Amino acid sequence: MRKFLIGCAAVGGIALAMGLAHADNGNSKGIDWIDAQEFATLPDGVRFPEGITANPATGDIFVGTFDFGPNPNKLVRFGRNGRVEAQRDFGGQPLLGLGFRSGKVYILNFGAQKLQRIDANFNAATPVEDVAVFPFIAPPLARNNGNADGTSDAIVFSWARSAPNAMVFDRAGNLYVSDSFQGAIFRIANPAACAPACAVATVAHDPLLVTAGFPPFGANGLALNGNDSVLYIANTGDHRVLAMPLPSGPISVFSESIHGADGLVWHDGSLWVAANQADTVYALDANGRIAVRAGEFEGIHSNGTPRGLLFPASLVVHDNWVYVTNLALPLTAAVGDEWEEEVRRWNVARFRARR
């Protein structure tokens, strides 16, 4: 896809005092800026890092890949120094969201349409446990989109596959999962106690959770606010962040024009969102306005890795660092129209986010 950076006019709002590069001097209102830096490079031949999570006790960072071949998919564990500690092969099954709970890495296996998990201290031979299978519930009802002239167009959705994409645990250990194709949010009560056949409950099935846009993924990244009362949901193809008061909504639009809204994470009172088509990460204030911008695409290193951010997909916070996977996945059939085509090694970036 040809990417167009969103021109962000200065907006009123709370400028987050976070010790940022290019920070505002406090005498005006606007958007603060943070520089991103490389944290780790994936092993040679391991491509398209997507999901990410962290072990809060050790600082280990876990990354899963979204590769449709011929290269195999991997779950990679990095130490807090960025060195590769272990890899687990998933073959031809692409992986999406990751989560961490009670010494286990939880994995949304997009290829198998399952929730799985593995011991955090895994090696190449550690067994992978099944936790739940996601149901086929069909697409939601048609959505009427209003036009500027007062007319409206009905969009009818016809996805025929489950697409478990992102996850977030609440403080009680219950798990929420987005389904990008079926327009659903699922909930699994305490998966630590119910595997290998956990019940999957549908808590939302809504036309706002699907898309007819590009990239063709609807409900994607998830984040809970500080007291678990609101679930935030990125809709990638609609370039929106949605909000759903728990336990059951209704769902509404929280922020518009986040170009390729993808991974979400809540940190220190702010909602951070990876804008995968703008090659940047935003922090949104309480009104859904952009308060901070972190990172940008700065070209390709001589070793073939992205400089800065390129198709940032997923986020995790550890020790006031926000870690970001650079998916760097070409999406168009044309040749030469995407910087992602120039990438030969894939990496993970990070930036400071501290008040």
User: What percentage of the chain exceeds 70 in pLDDT?
Assistant: 91
Helix (H) or strand (E) holding 263: strand 261-267
10 lies in a domain?
no
**pLDDT value of residue 214:** 95
39: CATH: 2.120.10.30
8 lies in a domain?
no
220 lies in a domain?
yes
With left for phi above 0 and alpha for psi between -120 and 50, is residue 102 left, alpha or beta?
left
- For residue 129, pLDDT over 70 is answered with yes
- For residue 23, pLDDT over 60 is answered with no
* Residue-number span of the structural domain to which 97 is assigned: 32-143+161-352
Bigger pLDDT: 161 vs 309: 309
- For residue 285, pLDDT over 60 is answered with yes
17 lies in a domain?
no
193 lies in a domain?
yes
User: What percentage of the chain exceeds 90 in pLDDT?
Assistant: 84
11 lies in a domain?
no
Return the closest-CA partner of residue 185 out of 140, 238, 130: 140
> What three-state secondary structure class fits 20?
coil
Domain count across the chain: 1
Reported as a pLDDT band with limits 50, 70 and 90, residue 28 is low
- For residue 27, pLDDT over 70 is answered with no
Reported as a pLDDT band with limits 50, 70 and 90, residue 320 is very high
124 lies in a domain?
yes
Helix (H) or strand (E) holding 192: helix 191-194
- For residue 311, pLDDT over 50 is answered with yes
**What is the C-alpha to C-alpha distance for residues 329 and 326, in angstroms, rounded to an integer?**
9
Reported as a pLDDT band with limits 50, 70 and 90, residue 349 is very high
Mean per-residue pLDDT of the chain:
91
- For residue 354, pLDDT over 50 is answered with yes
For residue range 241-272, list pLDDT tens digits in order.
999 999 988 999 999 999 999 999 999 999 99
151 lies in a domain?
no
**What is the C-alpha to C-alpha distance for residues 290 and 33, in angstroms, rounded to an integer?**
11
Reported as a pLDDT band with limits 50, 70 and 90, residue 342 is very high
